[in-house]
Structure 1
Amino acid sequence: MTVRVENLGAPWEHDYGYVQALRRGDTIYVSGQLSHDGADLVAPAPVDESGAVTDFSAMGDQLRRTYVNAEELLKRFGASLDDVVEEVVYVLDVDAAMAVAGEVRKAAYRREDPQVASTIVGVARLAFPRQLVEVKFVAKVPGTTTA
């Protein structure tokens, strides 16, 4: 079975050694997405001198950009967020995420009842100190080709 991969050109793709998304058969696996535009974090959270986040109010902005990046990757496979069947949302602060996630997710999926299995998980740290959220996606698309 042929595997097709896509990247966004972020420096950590090479540094860490992974692809942003891959399609195998009718399934697209999207690595954990975050709020970046190339090498720059979008809406970075403020941190104190020890690197701890001091304000979680950028959660909504980071989550919105995360869905934009996922949509861009899915589009490269001829898919969209409409094809997502599962997502896992990793956050530093569950309360801050729950305060904005419903509105952001509904807008991203363009439905009041997004048709996606979703899990939200609170974590101690993400890849970057100013990062508040990361979302992993699995999408199913018709057919078994990788074109």
Structure 2
Amino acid sequence: MTRHIIQTDRAPQAIGTYSQAVRVGDTVYLSGQIPLDPATMTLVEGDIDAQIRRVFDNLRAVAEAAGGSLDDIVKLNIFLTDLAHFPRVNEIMAGYFAQPYPARAAIGVASLPRGAGVEMDGVLVLAD
């Protein structure tokens, strides 16, 4: 199968040796997004809520560039430097996703790039 690289200016540019997303067939693999403002490439200011919202906005931008939406995500991975913020992820996520929700994992990590408190990646499947 052919791989298609997904790229958008509406999400932060890759800060390493990776693509924002890769599409293979109807499946799109979204790289991890941290709460970088795509215009400035700096971490958003504010509390963990602002970081979580920015990550969802970044994921949405890449999903849309791939021809889909957040509703097409079938698997979401969430990485938090403080698992006490997990209830905030749930509450904010409800504003971005509708049922049925994607499969999901939440993982506590020691640190994330650029000092972020949250990172998310996922897999989406596009309709024919």
Q: Same fold (TM over 0.5)?
A: yes
Letter paired with 1:19:
S
User: Paired residue for 2:95?
Assistant: 107
User: Paired residue for 1:82?
Assistant: 71
Q: Structure 1 residue runs of 4+, over 3 Å off?
A: 7-11
State the alpha-carbon separation in 2 of the partners of residues 114 and 40 from structure 1. 33
**In the TM superposition, what is the alpha-carbon distance from 1:8 to its structure 2 partner?**
4.4
Letter paired with 1:79:
G
Do structure 1's residue 70 and structure 2's residue 72 form an aligned pair? no
Name the SS of the counterpart of 2:114 in structure 1. Answer: coil
User: Paired residue for 1:126?
Assistant: 112
**In the TM superposition, what is the alpha-carbon distance from 1:121 to its structure 2 partner?**
0.4
User: Paired residue for 2:4?
Assistant: 4
Q: 1:137 aligns with which of 106, 113, 122?
A: 122
State the alpha-carbon separation in 2 of the partners of residues 106 and 81 from structure 1. 12
Residues 7, 19 of structure 1: 8 Å contact kept: yes
> What is the total number of aligned residue pairs between the two structures?
124
State the alpha-carbon separation in 1 of the partners of residues 100 and 88 from structure 2. 15
Letter paired with 1:35:
P
Q: What CA RMSD, in Å, does the superposition of the two structures yield over aligned residues?
A: 1.6
Residues 106, 114 of structure 1: 8 Å contact kept: no
